[in-house]
Amino acid sequence: MLDDLVRNLRVAYARLWVRVKGGNREPEWLIFDMFLPIFTLSAYVYLYKMLGVGTEFAGFVVIGGTMLAFWTNVLWNMSAQFYWEKETGTLEAYLVAPISRMAILLGMALGGFVNTTLRAVAILTVGLLIFQVPLALNEPFTALLIFFLTIAALYSLGMLFASLFLLYGREAWHTASLLQEPVQFISGSFYPVRYLPTMLQLLASLVPLTFGLDGIRKTAISGEGIAQVWPHVIALSVFTLVLLPLAKLALNFMENLGKKEGRLTLRWQ
Amino acid sequence: MSDYVETINLCRTFGKKKDLVKALDGVSISIKEGEIFGLLGPNGAGKTTLIKILTTLLLPTRGEAYVGGFNVVKEADKVRKIINLVSGGETPGYGILSVKENLWFFSQLYGLNSSVAKERSKRLMADLDFEQYANTRMSKLSTGYKQRMSLARGLLSDPKILFLDEPTLGLDVLTAKKLRNYVIDWAKQERKGTVLLTTHYMIEADEMCDRVAIISNGRILACDSPQVLKEDLRKTPIAKIEVSSVQTDFSFIEKVKGIIGYSETRNIQTGVTHLRVMVNDRKVFAEIESKLNEAELKVLAVNETEPTLEDVYIRLVGKGFEEAEEKAHA
Ligand SMILES: Nc1ncnc2c1ncn2[C@@H]1O[C@H](COP(=O)(O)OP(=O)(O)OP(=O)(O)O)[C@@H](O)[C@H]1O
Ligand SMILES: [Mg+2]
């Protein structure tokens, strides 16, 4: 038992290490990853300035842009990961090994988080400096709590996607790209969700990013505290507690289905 | 000694109804501990399917399989602890990481202590002659070195049973020989491990294996040591016939009475086709030669020859590997 746990933790660490090592080996990528989001959020900030809708929005946009980096990472690197591993043949090595598949997913998630944090910190710093966003961090621990709960919920969702996409070839790729824009839109990455129609707001509440963004903005910009954001804490915790076991179930199910249908290590389907 | 790998009436189908493919059709084999066992057969015979079932990557449709005494379906976790798999022609890891980094990573899937892992990979890299590439990115390695790395990756976890799926696919003669010898050493001296390898190279099966199972269309047609399999053919005359044409359809010789089977190898460069013909009486060779002459083909040489494992296959199926594969692709 303990042996298995230790081995799986080692695996998760090793997978994290591959992610971090591989993801930062080409410095150009880093620069690319940092500057593109900064351009996007600058565009929004200037748009809002031109429309004269007040400085509140600059803070919104900077935090939105920062958190969006994590969402992008979840979609592009988590969801389609098993699909890539299948293409390169490393999936076979995982499935033959005496390890929990969840350990691999966990390592991928943590590695993706570390890599993205490097980029997100840059986006945040540059954003805060350029646009002179006034922060009002009255309860920094509450803000951090919301941040980590958001990350946990987002990456749990990523783990679920990765599992669901285990058997799907290129569709995984297309689905991931389909989700990028709508989620960016309904989760209110660049504006407050309350300006959306009620239906969309309801839809938005199904995406953990929406709660995370709102919670972080409340605690970091509006100076609110746990008294105001406790519903966010609960919602985000529920997301994680539901999504994580769901990811494990989905992974087991897909692995079995793959073994039954013979699609597990089949390429280019 | 106990049976280390055993399959009982193993069946695996793919697809449904009209497109149903019987990849394995009632395969029963048993492999002893410490044995190097080969599965020899043409493309599409079912070799990889069998390996996938034994390495827990695929479920059988029917029948049972045991590895190290564990049921591959019900006790997959226990099976995984004692095996490793090397698939020839497969990318051996992450392209962006160096060879050394990759080997460390894959050792972690088996819970190796990092210092043990590093020591072992160092030794494997030295033994398999690629330590000079330890710090090279995997994506920059040539096929031969990728395959060496694959083998190293498979041995790193010190498995009791090693599965090799076409380990020397597409390699030059020297590299292939080196890998083969290394596996033999590993199985016979160093680890005393068990090996199940698939191949469609005759010499590989002949040189490496204690026993060979000949597989075709999902069925095991024969299973014994290479010597015994060939011994059975001692009384069957076999000749190599060289004909100076690479265009001709030679299937007409099938109709010659007394022919058991034949295979052909066309060499476009020299313009010569080597026919390997098996007959039930020496006299038939003259008959074949006259048939070739009638067809206005120039016969360069007719030489009787010793049986090989391919002849065993020809004997069983009536044609060589290449012909079987051509038919499968048609
Ligand atoms: N996942 C799959 N889905 C559908 N059909 C499959 C699948 N895997 C194998 N087959 C079919 O099963 C048969 C046996 O294939 P298999 O890969 O086991 O052959 P093989 O002996 O390994 O051949 P090769 O020498 O080409 O590697 C083939 O007809 C193949 O097309
Ligand atoms: Mg194969």
| Residue B124 main-chain phi, psi, to 5 deg | -65, -40
Predicted confidence (pLDDT) per residue in B117-156, tens digit: 999 999 999 999 999 999 999 999 999 999 999 999 999 9
Q: How far apart are CA A96 and CA B76, in angstroms?
A: 9
Considering only CA atoms, which residue is closest to atom 31 of ligand 1? B44
The two beta strands, B30-32 and B194-199, are unpaired
Q: Is the pLDDT of residue A268 over 60?
A: no
Here the CATH number for the domain that contains residue B46 is 3.40.50.300
Q: What is the mean pLDDT of residues A244-269?
A: 84
Question: What are A218's two structure tokens?
Answer: 């409340």
Q: Is the pLDDT of residue A164 over 60?
A: yes
CA of A251 to the centre of ligand 1 (A): 25
Q: How far apart are CA B39 and CA B57, in angstroms?
A: 18
User: Which residue type occupies B62?
Assistant: R
User: Which residue type occupies B117?
Assistant: A
What residues flank ligand 1, with Cβ below 6 Å? A 262, 266; B 14-15, 21, 23, 41, 43-49, 200
Do residues B188 and B32 make contact, with C-beta atoms less than 8 angstroms apart? no
- The domain limits of chain A are 2-261
A169 vs B270, higher pLDDT: B270
Q: What is the mean pLDDT of residues A94-98?
A: 95
What pLDDT shows up at residue B1? 45
Element holding B243 (H helix, E strand): strand B238-243
Predicted confidence (pLDDT) per residue in B302-315, tens digit: 999 989 888 898 88
Q: How far apart are CA B150 and CA B87, in angstroms?
A: 8
Do residues A232 and A208 make contact, with C-beta atoms less than 8 angstroms apart? no
Q: How far apart are CA B43 and CA B177, in angstroms?
A: 22
What pLDDT shows up at residue A204? 73
CA of B162 to the centre of ligand 1 (A): 21
Predicted confidence (pLDDT) per residue in A4-16, tens digit: 898 999 999 999 9
The residue to mutate among B12, B13, B14, having the most atoms of ligand 1 within 8 angstroms of its beta carbon, is: B14
Alpha helices, H only, A24-139: 27-51, 56-73, 81-88, 90-96, 101-131
What pLDDT shows up at residue A173? 66
Q: How far apart are CA A189 and CA A62, in angstroms?
A: 9
Q: How confident is the model at residue B12 (pLDDT cuts 50, 70, 90)?
A: very high
Q: Which ligand is nearest to the CA of B213?
A: 1
Q: Using only C-alpha atoms, what is the Rg of chain A?
A: 19
Residue of A10, A96, A267 for testing the chain B interface, max B β-carbons within 10 Å: A96
Do residues A128 and A70 make contact, with C-beta atoms less than 8 angstroms apart? no
Predicted confidence (pLDDT) per residue in B180-216, tens digit: 999 999 999 888 899 999 998 888 999 999 999 999 9
Place of tokens 């409340």: A218
Here the CATH number for the domain that contains residue B249 is 3.30.70.260
Instruction: Count Cβ atoms below 10 Å from residue A169 Cβ, excluding itself.
Output: 15
Regarding whether B179 and B165 lie in a shared domain, the answer is yes
What pLDDT shows up at residue A269? 41
Regarding whether B262 and B225 lie in a shared domain, the answer is no
User: Which residue type occupies B44?
Assistant: G
Domain of B306 in residue numbering reads as 232-329
Predicted confidence (pLDDT) per residue in A199-249, tens digit: 777 677 778 888 999 999 999 988 899 999 999 999 999 999 999 999 999
Domain count, chain B: 2
A10, burial (CB in 10 Å: exposed 0-12, middle 13-18, buried 19+):
buried
Decide: helix, strand or coil at residue B249.
Answer: coil
Regarding whether B150 and B58 lie in a shared domain, the answer is yes
Predicted confidence (pLDDT) per residue in A34-58, tens digit: 777 788 778 877 877 777 776 667 8
Q: How far apart are CA A37 and CA A220, in angstroms?
A: 20
Q: How far apart are CA B86 and CA B80, in angstroms?
A: 14
What is the length of chain B? 330
Regarding whether B285 and B207 lie in a shared domain, the answer is no
Regarding whether B153 and B52 lie in a shared domain, the answer is yes
